[in-house]
Amino acid sequence: MKHSRIDQIDGGATLIKLMCCVKNYDWGRIGGESTVARLYYRNTGININEDKPYAEFWMGTHESGPSYVVGERENLTLKDWIDRNPSSVLGEVVFNKWGTDFPFLFKVLSVAKALSIQAHPDKDLATSLHKEQPSVYKDDNHKPEMALAVTQFEALCGFVSLEELKVIVRTTPEIVEVIGNAKAAQVLNLNEDDGKEEVKLLLRSVFTDIMTVRKDVTTEVLAKLISRLNVDDQVRHLTDKEQLILQLEKLYPADVGVLAAYLLNYVKLKPGEALYLGSNEPHAYLDGESVECMANSDNVIRAGLTPKHRDVKILCSMLTYKQGFPEILKGTVVNPYTKRYLPPFDEFEVDRCILPQNSTTVFPSIPGPSIFLVVEGEGTMTTSSDEVVAEGDVLFASANTKITVATLSGLHLYRAGVSSRLFELHK
């Protein structure tokens, strides 16, 4: 374990190093191929198991994966440390809105194969699910989230447009076999003038038909689909979506999620691009590495591409059925080295900072807390004195802490904090 002092200056401003936790879900990248594994080793000194998947690196206060304060003799979690003086550490605006509940959870993801088709409940649904099934739904919070690509990052996200849905019905007889000719005709006869509610209801019906089809029918239909696509591949270039369908079926044979993937947008993010998801929006991360930030929750409702617990009925009933390609955030320039990714959620924003050799930048004092992650290089973070930082270091900065970052060799870091829009409203 690394040892570090707590750097505290007048007014309660604080910068502390954290020891963070890892999740070894089976979709993670294996051993040293995983950025998560590399960061976890550098953060904790715990050796990597080269045969084990390393999927997620968690930074925050969630009880399913808490961070610990480095250098404290007792096993002190970040949450316990914040609870000693929450209004000073979190700042008045954050404390008044969320109390001592830390508002966001910060992660790194290393994805080797597709995650489940899933959605995260809104606050009301999360509260009722947690009350009814606390062993499955671990908390009562909603979970809007954002994934910021570190490498090329692929995902399924949100429902395709009406026009694309019509193309799918025209060109994919296996989908028509599941939903029936009458419903397929309804899709083809719809137009944008029919009203959003009518379109939404039909999309919901189509998606529900697919997700609830009998297992034996799914197996039969997917066998036909894969056979047809393999034949087509000999005579024409398959679309990106069709190639994805073949890949998913190899990973999850006879899984209804392979069919459902047709209805979702296939998104490919370049490094430095971000995708955000509100509550009740379907998605599945497919491949690549990303920094992820979300409201402080671990609630997931799954319905496909997974061997885990599925709540198909809840998922089909909760979705917004909003259509169209999602907004891709490219970041707003804050200074020559830093871009800010600001989704429409109060709980969080993320800064991406890439410092070249022999350069310095400042993260100004803000009225809320931040978590910093160094993913590459080394340098110093300065409040009243220098804190040497390097790859794998995670630091918590309390409210009203101005930090100067400097490097001789180059440094790549991320900062997660509460949305700056929230502080603008309280000026």
Residue with tokens 């019906």: 205
> What is the model's pLDDT at position 9?
34
Q: Give the integer Cα–Cα distance in Å for 272 and 51.
A: 30
DSSP letter for each residue of 351-370: EEEEE-TTEEEEE---SS-E
Q: Give the integer Cα–Cα distance in Å for 54 and 47.
A: 12
Token digits of residue 399: 């409210």
Total-model pTM: 0.92
pLDDT (tens digit per residue) in 139-193: 777 688 999 999 999 999 999 999 999 999 999 999 999 999 999 999 999 887 7
Of the listed ranges 90-99, 126-135, 356-365, 396-405, the one predicted with least confidence: 126-135
Are residues 170 and 282 in contact, defined by beta-carbon separation less than 8 angstroms? no
Contacts of 231 (CB under 8 A, 6+ apart): none
User: Which CA distances in Å does 97 have to 49, 67, 87, 94, 360?
Assistant: 41, 22, 11, 5, 34
pLDDT above 70 covers a percentage of the chain that reads: 96
145 labelled ligand-binding: yes
309 labelled ligand-binding: no
Q: Give the integer Cα–Cα distance in Å for 15 and 125.
A: 36
Q: Give the integer Cα–Cα distance in Å for 129 and 297.
A: 13
247 labelled ligand-binding: no
Q: Give the integer Cα–Cα distance in Å for 157 and 149.
A: 15
Of the listed ranges 128-142, 203-217, 267-281, the one predicted with least confidence: 128-142
pLDDT: which is higher, 49 or 190: 49
Residue with tokens 């001592």: 100
* Average pLDDT of span 318-322: 93
- pLDDT level of residue 12 (50, 70, 90 thresholds): low
**Does pLDDT of 4 surpass 50?**
no
Residue with tokens 């954050």: 94
Contacts of 52 (CB under 8 A, 6+ apart): 24, 30, 31
> What is the model's pLDDT at position 195?
75
142 labelled ligand-binding: no
Q: Give the integer Cα–Cα distance in Å for 370 and 364.
A: 11
pLDDT (tens digit per residue) in 216-255: 999 999 999 999 999 999 999 999 999 999 999 999 999 9
Can you say whether residue 212 is alpha, beta or left, with left for phi > 0 and alpha for psi between -120 and 50 degrees?
A: alpha
Reduced to 3 states (helix: H, G, I; strand: E, B; else coil), residue 290 is strand
**Does pLDDT of 421 surpass 50?**
yes
Q: Give the integer Cα–Cα distance in Å for 137 and 256.
A: 23
Which residue in 38, 228, 236, 302 is the catalytic one? Answer: 302
* Helical spans, DSSP H, in 233-264: 240-251, 256-260
pLDDT (tens digit per residue) in 372-402: 999 999 999 998 777 899 999 999 999 999 9
Is 415 a residue of the active site?
no
Q: Give the integer Cα–Cα distance in Å for 304 and 260.
A: 8
In this structure, what DSSP letter does residue 217 have? H
**Does pLDDT of 76 surpass 70?**
yes
> What is the model's pLDDT at position 46?
96
